[in-house]
Amino acid sequence: MIIAIDGPSASGKSTTAKGVAEKLGFTHLDTGAMYRAVTWGLKNAEITADDIETIRHFLSEIEIYFDATNRIHLNGVDVSREIRSGNISSRVSAVSAVIEVREKMVKIQRQIAKGNNCVLEGRDIGTVVFPNAEFKFFLIADVDVRAKRRLIDLEKMGETKTISELIADIRRRDELDSSRDHSPLIQAEDAIPIDTSQLTIDEQINKIINHINLNK
Ligand code: DC
């Protein structure tokens, strides 16, 4: 069974997808982490998002996988922590707009999830990666709530940003993710919208679990 959870950044996707997967005993696939890992790899190799030929070559040799504890490895390096930095967040929208990067990531995502019970979270899971997913949810939240969530995440990593900087970052990323030519962030017609602004993590998870239990 495939469960798709899409939505903009900091809408609560990751925590919700992780909790839903744990409760159901499913695999949790964080597709945003994959785009972040590619962004980290390109930055590390000093390849810019407009250098398509070099990106093609980079992608042809890429090895990306999640280990048993769901940490993400790129070419043998555990990049789970680095990919959450503000530096990667500010670059990832440009990298994830590159069609070659998307095609490669979608292929890997389908390989990981195929024949498995999997909760996938991202931007295009219900529209492009698995349009026939059994269940589709689209998480949203107010921008100021999302900025506060990001602030807490960044503080844990020792980074400081103001709420207004984070609101501007989130708005910019929403705009880039929603307006790109390939697989833009849009709600699938058959996805169930969930506004997480006023919900606790448990409430978010339970809303999805209850819906699945009532409709499977
Ligand atoms: O969910 P996140 O913030 O970790 O995602 C990081 C970026 O990756 C986000 O700006 C858009 C991109 N992304 C995407 O284009 N498609 C996905 N399925 C997941 C993420």
How does pLDDT run across 33-89, given as a tens digit for each residue? 999 999 999 999 999 999 999 999 999 999 999 999 999 999 999 999 999 988 998
According to the model, what pLDDT value does residue 57 have?
97
According to the model, what pLDDT value does residue 73 have?
98
Tell me how far the alpha carbon of residue 185 lies from the centroid of ligand 1, in angstroms: 9
Q: Is the CB of 96 under 6 A from ligand 1?
A: yes
Q: Is the CB of 180 under 6 A from ligand 1?
A: no
Which protein residue's CA is at the shortest distance from atom 9 of ligand 1?
93
**Largest Cα span, the chain:** 50
Q: What is the pTM of this model?
A: 0.94
Q: Is the CB of 35 under 6 A from ligand 1?
A: yes
Mutate to test the pocket of ligand 1, among 85, 96, 101 (most ligand atoms within 8 A of CB): 96
Type of residue at 9: S
Q: Is 164 exposed, middle or buried (0-12, 13-18, 19+ CB in 10 A)?
A: exposed
According to the model, what pLDDT value does residue 68 have?
93
Measured from the Cα of 180, ligand 1's closest atom is 15
Q: Is the CB of 130 under 6 A from ligand 1?
A: no
According to the model, what pLDDT value does residue 110 have?
97
Tell me how far the alpha carbon of residue 95 lies from the centroid of ligand 1, in angstroms: 10
For the chain, strand residue ranges (E) read: 2-6, 27-30, 64-66, 72-74, 77-78, 118-122, 135-140, 192-195
User: What tokens were used for 198?
Assistant: 């006023």
